[in-house]
Structure 1
Amino acid sequence: MLVSIFFIFIAVIIIQFLYYVVIFGKFSFAKLQPATPKRIPISVIVCAKNEEENVKKFIPLLAEQNYPQFEIVLIDDASSDNTLEIFEEFEKLYSNIKLVKVENNEAFWGNKKFALTLGIKAAKYEYLLFTDADCYPNSKEWITTMSSQFTAKKTIVLGYGAYEKIASSFLNKIIRYETLMTATQYFSWAKIGKPYMGVGRNMAYKREEFFKVRGFMDHMKIRSGDDDLFINQAANKSNTTICFSPESFTYSQPKTSFKDWFTQKRRHVSTANHYKLFDKNQLSVFYVSQLLFFILSIVLLLFQFQWIAVVSIIGFRYLFAWIAMGFAAGKLKEKDVMYWFPIIELVLTLTQLNVFITNTFSKPVHWK
């Protein structure tokens, strides 16, 4: 029995090696490719619902971008606070701000995708750059850097949406590591030619890509997924590229309680259930291999089966995983989380298992 478990353990390590080194290595060990600024007209689209405090702080940062020709499309999705009033003041203050007011619609009540669709249609320019109302760019060159990746063929650009660092919080390290891991995955698969998701905190595409797939119509009834479900449907090897220059990052405030973060993760995981079959399978294989690695390691060590070999294999696995994720963390300015890598990885794997079990018995709530 233990011999069979040992061989399964070896198979799991091989799968882990293929993911961390062969697949994730496409991004982790990639060189930053310089790009020439395109200076194409850009519409920056921000959708907000009850975000009065965030938009006060962050919209001026968008307006101050160092870019020759851009507009900011502010979408108020039927907010019940002062978001709309603040947007109206910004519209008066900045000549390149356009306001889109969305009223509650019985057919699309509380649906962010409906609000975004109205904003996309109202945009003046063909190239669209998206971020969330609770996000801010890392530099005044955000638009320049993201738009520089557009070419005649590459009409979808996937960026990195990071979270602020809270030095004294271990939860913050978990959240940032999970964000790092997610980005490493979707950047790597995009470089392989199998893009499957992006984050609405930082992504760009040409408007024609939106209409090619009928916008959000095929998944309008799913409240989440205005970013990843759209990319899962519209992106392919030919039209998609990535941008990971630090100037292109956006930042937002992370959750500060485990309960809120857990709720957020439940929404993300439930959305992933609607990905294409290949994408769901590759994600499932990776996370199952993560879980089996911990379970089989414990079983083999408890029964002291070939313990020297088992410990050596475990050490080898941590070495290649640490190196791969360490290089990715360096690119995405998240190096400090790697000091806690073994602990964070275990906590995250158990949390994902908890999310899966919880979502099996109840549905998460989406959008505000």
Structure 2
Amino acid sequence: MEYLDLLYNDLTAKGIVHPYWVVGLIGAALVFFFIQLHYYLGRYGRLPRFRNNRGIRQDIPSPPVSVVVVVRGNSFYFIEHTLPLLLGQQYDEFEVVLVDCSYDDEIGEILREKSLVVPNLHVTCIRQQSHHEHSIKLALTVGIKAARYEHLIFTTQDSYPVSEKWLSLMAKGFICGDVVIGYCGIEPKKGMANRWMRCSRLMTSVRYLSAATRGKTFRGTEHNIGYTKSLYFDSRGFNHLNMNIGVDDLFIQKIVRADNVSVVMNPNATVRQIQYGGLGWWYGVNKYFGHAFRYYPAKARRAVRNELSSRFLFFATTAAAAALLPVRWIAVPLLPALLRLLIVELKMRRIGRRLGEKKFGGTYILYDFWAPLGGFLMTLSRRIRPNKAIWR
């Protein structure tokens, strides 16, 4: 009580009319501080210790796998650079199924010629219809039906595996479940924009990976995900057919249970998405795919919003208290802020190592401050100017 009386007198001497308002700000900041600890020490903090292979017998073989990729648009880079990485995976029994939706005769001919000389490459084609572009869901359905094996791994033409062990690690996930969720980061490049994108992708992935490890899966990533044929057909295929999005979140929510999901986190199981542009490109990508968020389960939406809002309110109340307090009391709100910053930085570095992310360092501190406001502005933008391209 002596400290409170001393603080009250100092605030009164500074000219604060209602000193208990400042005390209330400090109390509110501490409440939001502990909410943040719940996320970063509790929910997200478990990821560095998570091991998907605990309890798996080493003599149980991984199943044969079909890797399904939809080929669209200008695919020459994929054919020259990514396809050899897929075909060169160190795995005993697998095939690569390409669904050719490029509507380009030259690309189609190249793919057919390759399939004649590569035994485990299978190519199927969807013919173009006048004034109509086939949806990604139709293309994936064609690929699933064409696949030889029961267990399917999906990736995209604009992403590539970082290791020859990628497929073996993802396929091993099927020993624990019928749905396998992996990680996809942005390819490392020089520049602040690239580090910003990688921080954003890492934080987004941490949310759904941590939920999946707790049996509350609400999404994966189309660049690195797997499930069985039986699960797909038993659920009668993709849902939300009037949308061009949702293959890795809305459909996953339809097929997952608490006990059928396997999470694979290993630097060698990571794939990288090609960076096609700067922050404007990244903003457009996130805005487009983010339209599915409103259809997520209420608990998943609430968890994301609570973390971001508690982070924003913690920063706001801490800054307000620090501005109003006398100098000798300013450490009271700033110490929890510095402690949280240290915890977040250490946790994200540890999680990043599990996923093959390195050298984003100080950029994450800036992203940490910006993310709540950026998330709000993104949501507002989707509400005011929705992207009609998501609808068929």
**Same fold (TM > 0.5):** yes
Name the structure 2 match of 1:303. Answer: 324
Name the structure 2 match of 1:13. Answer: 33
Contact 2:26 2:318 in 1 (8 A): no
**Structure 2 gaps, min length 5:** 1-20
State the 1:77 CA deviation.
2.4
State the 1:65 CA deviation.
1.5
1:83 to 1:4, Cα distance in 2 relative to 1, 3 A: farther
Q: Which amino acid aligns with 2:348?
A: M
State the 1:94 CA deviation.
1.4
1:241 to 1:47, Cα distance in 2 relative to 1, 3 A: same
Contact 1:113 1:223 in 2 (8 A): yes
Name the structure 2 match of 1:103. Answer: 127
1:286 to 1:92, Cα distance in 2 relative to 1, 3 A: same
Question: Identity of paired residues, percent?
Answer: 25
Contact 2:266 2:356 in 1 (8 A): no
Name the structure 1 match of 2:47. Answer: 27
CA distance in 2, matches of 1:202, 1:235: 16
Name the structure 1 match of 2:279. Answer: 258
Q: How many residues align?
A: 365
Tell me if 1:183 matches 2:209: no
DSSP-derived class of the 2:360 partner: helix
CA distance in 2, matches of 1:201, 1:51: 18
Contact 1:52 1:81 in 2 (8 A): no
1:299 to 1:13, Cα distance in 2 relative to 1, 3 A: same
Tell me if 1:209 matches 2:227: no
Q: Which amino acid aligns with 1:174?
A: W
CA distance in 1, matches of 2:51, 2:295: 32
CA distance in 1, matches of 2:244, 2:385: 16
2:146 to 110, 122, 125: 122
CA distance in 2, matches of 1:289, 1:106: 50
CA distance in 2, matches of 1:195, 1:231: 8
Name the structure 2 match of 1:169. Answer: 191
Tell me if 1:279 matches 2:303: no
CA distance in 2, matches of 1:106, 1:362: 29
Deviations 1:266-287 (A, max 9, x none): 0232122211111111111112
TM-score (norm 2): 0.86
Name the structure 2 match of 1:349. Answer: 372
DSSP-derived class of the 1:50 partner: coil
State the 1:123 CA deviation.
1.0
CA distance in 1, matches of 2:183, 2:391: 21
Deviations 1:205-241 (A, max 9, x none): 111121232221x311121111122222212221001
DSSP-derived class of the 2:167 partner: helix
State the 1:20 CA deviation.
0.7
DSSP-derived class of the 1:23 partner: helix
**Structure 1 gaps, min length 5:** none
- Answer with 1 or 2: which has the greater Rg: 2
Contact 1:111 1:367 in 2 (8 A): no
1:367 to 1:123, Cα distance in 2 relative to 1, 3 A: farther
CA distance in 2, matches of 1:333, 1:41: 26
State the 1:361 CA deviation.
0.5
Contact 1:129 1:202 in 2 (8 A): yes
Name the structure 2 match of 1:330. Answer: 353
1:149 to 1:354, Cα distance in 2 relative to 1, 3 A: same
Name the structure 1 match of 2:15. Answer: none
DSSP-derived class of the 1:75 partner: strand
Q: Which amino acid aligns with 1:322?
A: E
Taking only aligned residues, the RMSD between alpha carbons, in angstroms, comes to 2.4
1:267 to 1:290, Cα distance in 2 relative to 1, 3 A: farther
State the 1:82 CA deviation.
4.6
Deviations 1:305-356 (A, max 9, x none): 7522100111121122222212101212223113332112223333222211
DSSP-derived class of the 2:275 partner: coil
CA distance in 1, matches of 2:76, 2:92: 28
Name the structure 1 match of 2:220. Answer: 198
Contact 1:39 1:68 in 2 (8 A): no
CA distance in 1, matches of 2:391, 2:86: 23
Name the structure 1 match of 2:94. Answer: 70
